[in-house]
Each structure stands twice: as C-alpha cells, then as structure tokens.
Amino acid sequence: MTLDETESLSTADFDYDLPSELIAQTPVEPRDSSRLMVIPRAGGLEHRAFRDVLEYLKPGDLLVANRSRVIPARITARRPGGGIAEILLLHQVARGRWEVLVRPGRRIFPGMLLTIDDKLSLEVIDRTDEGGRVIDVRGEHPDPDVALLERGAVPLPPYIEGWVGESERYQTIYADHLGSVAAPTAGLHFTPDLLERLEEYGVRWEVLTLHVGLGTFRPVKSEDVSAHTMHREMVDVPARIIDAVAQTRQRGGRVIAVGTTTVRALESAMRFGGAEGWQGWTELFITPGFEFRAIDGLITNFHLPRSTLMMLVSGLVGRDRLLSAYQEAIEHRYRFYSFGDAMLII
C-alpha cells in the first residue's frame, strides 16, 4: 500500500499475530539498552541498540518529545452495599470534578456515592456520551484533587501482568507535567547520559505536552478505518516549538518526533495554530495518505495490532513495509508494547 491509497482502508489491514511471550512484562536496564530497529524511509532495515540512535542523527536535527507525566489515575472505592468500584481518572473537568471510566459500569450510575475512605468519597454526577462518568470529589480537604491523587496508583496497561517495580520506571526521565493516564512510551528509552550526548553533538531537544488519554489507546471497533473517531486529548505546543521547527528546516535539519503522541501534537499545532503556538483539544486521526507538515522522522515503540498507532506509523512508511518490519521484529525476538523495544524511522 502506498501513502496515497486513502480509500477503503480496513482495520483488518493493520492486523498481525504476535506471540504472547514477546509482550514485554518488565523494562530493561539501563533504559537505553533496549533494541532499536532502524527503518530509513528510503529503504532497508538495521538492528541496533537504542544507545546507538545518535549515529543516525546529525548536528542541526531537532528531537521533540512529550513531557506529560502519568497521574496516579487508578482509584479503588466501595459502592453502597460494599461492592468494589474501580475508577480510572481520564482528565480534570474543573476543580474537584473529573471525567472517569468505571467498573462495573452497569452498577454505577448518577446519584451514587462511592466511598474511598472515611475522609474522601466520589459522587457520580453524570454519564458521558462515550460510556464514562463525571464525578465530584467530596470531603473536607484544602485541595480535593490533591487528596484524590494521593489515594491513587499509576495505572499500567492491562497486558503488563504482575510487575511490581517502581512506578517511576513507567515515567520518562523528563516528565514533569501531570495529566496522562498512560506513558508516552517512546521516551522511556532515554537516559540523562544520552540526552547529554545529544546536546554535545549538536542535536536540539524540545518538549511539548499531550496528555495521553483514551484517544491513543482506544481500540478501533469499526471495520472501516474512516468511521473511527478519536477521543480528544489536551495539547500544549508553545511558540518556541513552532519556531524551532521552522529554524531546523531553514538550516537543513530534520524534525524527529519522540513518540506518536508528539506527532499528533505537532501536526495538530501546524493545522490549528500558527507562529504563536497552539493549545487545545485534538482529535486528529493520522492514517496512510496523511500529509505530514511538521516531522521528518519518528522514534516509536512496537504497537498493538489494529490500533490507531499502527495506522499513524503506516502513514510514514506504508502499511506493507511496516507489517514486514513487524514480522522481522517477531523473527528477531524484539520485545513489544510499552516496556518493549524501539523503532527509528528516518
């Protein structure tokens, strides 16, 4: 499939079979010792370690990463009568008010009070159009949101089972803006030493914010790709990023996104903002045929089949080539998903 084949895309076109033992259950140490598959857009494929990424960059290139930090979004409460309520915070609507996912959804309805402990509870205010709930934090606290987050845990993807490591290992080393429900995992491979080497080599580093929500990970349920609607996510791209992209291009450098969330943030800013930068909600859905205006390359992980993430990456290299690369990754026993290995498209 070529990049201009935009019609009749099926979700099944982005499917592949992955042996379960290749789903990474633990991170590697150090972070930059993960493997790296290099896919030059002109053709070919190489197998390296992530610490070798500098060999594929040049002075004057620009790396842009997502600085969003995962919030302790997983909350456990009790329903009236004693049953457990599992709550996943999605985003803050207002002070003390959150949009959330709940389980069991059929037993949690507006008007219900969910008790976390003797000092904090959650009142279910409303349902959302996408099956979630809106809740208000109840309790006598100076800051109800701080009190709520103090009682939460960092959520891990459901395919990671039994890992009990430090939650900080599921954060990038530069994450400093709370707001995501999942880590922008391409950035998990960077170490302080690697960032220092990039700076010394003359590669510029910038950070923006996209708070990762359901839009990145919600499964595509429609067979027709064009019928899928992305869940909106909050983006903040400062003016300095737009300026850095322009300067990089003027000087002959390349703009390389660290992660698919960074791609969506940059491409949204290019479409909806201007020289002053852009802040707002994005529902941008990138598929083959997409006209990239901001980036020349991408660092990313290996993604779930039939996912919007695979569709985005296919927009850079083509579906057939990406699936071929995934098959080679399987044959070479790469580690997949959040704690897995990385890919560089450049």
Residue 137 included in any domain: yes
Residue count (the chain) = 346
Q: What is the pLDDT of residue 133?
A: 96
Using DSSP's 3-state secondary structure scheme, residue 154 falls into coil
241 assigned to some structural domain: yes
- Looking at the fold, whether 207 and 135 belong to one and the same domain comes out as no
Range of the domain at 261: 11-70+165-345
Q: How far apart are the first and last CA of the chain?
A: 19
* pLDDT for res 217: 63
Is 198 within the bounds of a domain? yes
Q: What pLDDT was estimated at residue 5?
A: 46
122 and 39 together in one domain: no
Q: Same domain for 125 and 175?
A: no
Q: What's the pLDDT tens digit per position in 151-203? A: 999 999 989 998 988 999 999 999 999 999 999 999 999 999 999 999 999 99
Specify the number of domains making up the chain.
2
Choose the final residue of a domain: 150, 174, 195.
Answer: 150
- Strands (DSSP E) contained in the chain are 35-39, 46-49, 62-66, 68-70, 74-78, 84-94, 97-103, 113-117, 120-127, 133-138, 177-180, 204-210, 233-238, 255-258, 277-282, 297-301, 342-345
- For residue 3, the model assigns a pLDDT of 36
CA 206, chain centre distance (Å)? 17
Last residue of one domain, picked from the residues 106, 125, 150: 150
Query: Do 42 and 183 fall within a single domain?
Result: yes
Residues 215, 331 within the same domain: yes
Residues 308 and 341 in one domain: yes
pLDDT, tens digit, 9 for 90 and up, residues 269-295: 999 998 899 999 999 999 999 999 999
Which residue numbers in the chain have pLDDT < 50?
1-6
Decide: 136 and 96 in contact? Cβ < 8 Å: yes
Residues 174 and 268 in one domain: yes
What CATH number is attached to the domain comprising 207?
3.40.1780.10
Confirm whether 292 is domain-assigned: yes
157 within some domain? no
The reply to whether 119 and 192 lie within a common domain is: no
Q: What pLDDT is recorded for position 43?
A: 86
Determine, yes or no, domain membership for 102. Answer: yes
Residues 27 and 117 in one domain: no
From residue 125, give the alpha-carbon distance in Å to each of 130, 131, 209, 338.
15, 13, 29, 33
Residue 156 lies in a domain: no
- Whether 94 and 58 share a structural domain: no
Per-residue pLDDT at 108: 96
Residue 2 inside a domain? The answer is no
State whether 119 and 233 are in the same domain: no
Tell me the two tokens of residue 309: 């993430």
Alpha helices in 151-251 (DSSP H): 192-201, 214-217, 239-250
| pLDDT of 221 | 84
Shared-domain flag, residues 276 and 224: yes
pLDDT for the residue numbered 42: 81
CATH at 119: 2.40.10.240
> What integer pLDDT is reported at residue 7 of this predicted model?
55
Boundary of a domain, candidates 150, 185, 217: 150
